[in-house]
């Protein structure tokens, strides 16, 4: 068994869609970045790549490569699923937490879980999504950005 952790954070800005877990959430701001800036999936990608000992998301999908401009981060998960398969590993468990003052995450968590499970070809019961606020503290509490943490376990097939 191998374990990996991941973290990501992006600033909230006007003029962008807000996408988390592959789901577009209604909000007046979106996350700034090269792809769709889905912090939940980016943290998960880093956790999976960490478990594989395969670097990080920036090495595999650099923000200097225009083919990834505004792309859905679900694509990254699908590519990492292929890497897991090539290296003969499968996902056992995924646990994530989104840190945001707004919008409310949990009404969308089941759709996020389904998207992640489908992209990684795992049972949705293997995916957990939690959300919290920071009670007004820090950049997430001040509604300047959103962050996410992920931890995964994988086993060889």
- The secondary element (H helix, E strand) that includes residue 4 is strand 2-13
Q: Which CATH number fits domain 2-156: 1.10.10.10, 3.30.1360.120, 3.30.1330.50, 1.10.150.120?
A: 3.30.1330.50
**pLDDT at residue 55 in the model:** 97
Q: What is the pLDDT of residues 69-85, one digit of tens each?
A: 999 999 999 999 999 99
| CB neighbours of residue 14 within 10 Å | 8
Burial of 130 (0-12, 13-18, 19+ CB in 10 A): middle
| Pairing of β 127-132 and β 145-156 | unpaired
φ/ψ (deg, to 5) at 67: -65, -15
116-133 mean pLDDT:
98
- Answer yes or no: pTM beyond 0.85: yes
Q: What is the pLDDT of residues 26-42, one digit of tens each?
A: 999 999 999 999 999 99
Q: Residue 130 pairs with which residues in a beta bridge?
A: 97
Domain spans, the chain: 2-156
């Amino acid at each position: 068994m191998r374990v990996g952790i991941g973290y990501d954070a992006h600033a909230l800005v006007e003029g962008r869609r807000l996408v988390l877990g592959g789901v577009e959430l209604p909000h007046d701001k979106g996350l700034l970045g090269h792809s769709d800036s889905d912090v939940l999936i980016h943290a998960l990608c880093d956790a999976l790549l960490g478990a594989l000992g395969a670097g990080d998301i920036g090495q595999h999908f650099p923000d200097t490569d225009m083919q990834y401009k505004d792309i859905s981060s679900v694509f990254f998960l699908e590519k990492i699923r292929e890497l897991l398969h090539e290296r003969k590993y499968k996902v056992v468990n995924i646990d994530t937490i989104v840190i945001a003052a707004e919008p409310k995450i949990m009404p969308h968590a089941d759709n996020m879980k389904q998207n992640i499970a489908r992209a990684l070809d795992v049972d949705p019961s293997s995916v957990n999504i939690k959300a919290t606020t920071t009670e007004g503290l820090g950049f997430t509490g001040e509604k300047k950005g959103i962050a996410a943490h992920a931890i995964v376990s994988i086993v060889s097939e």
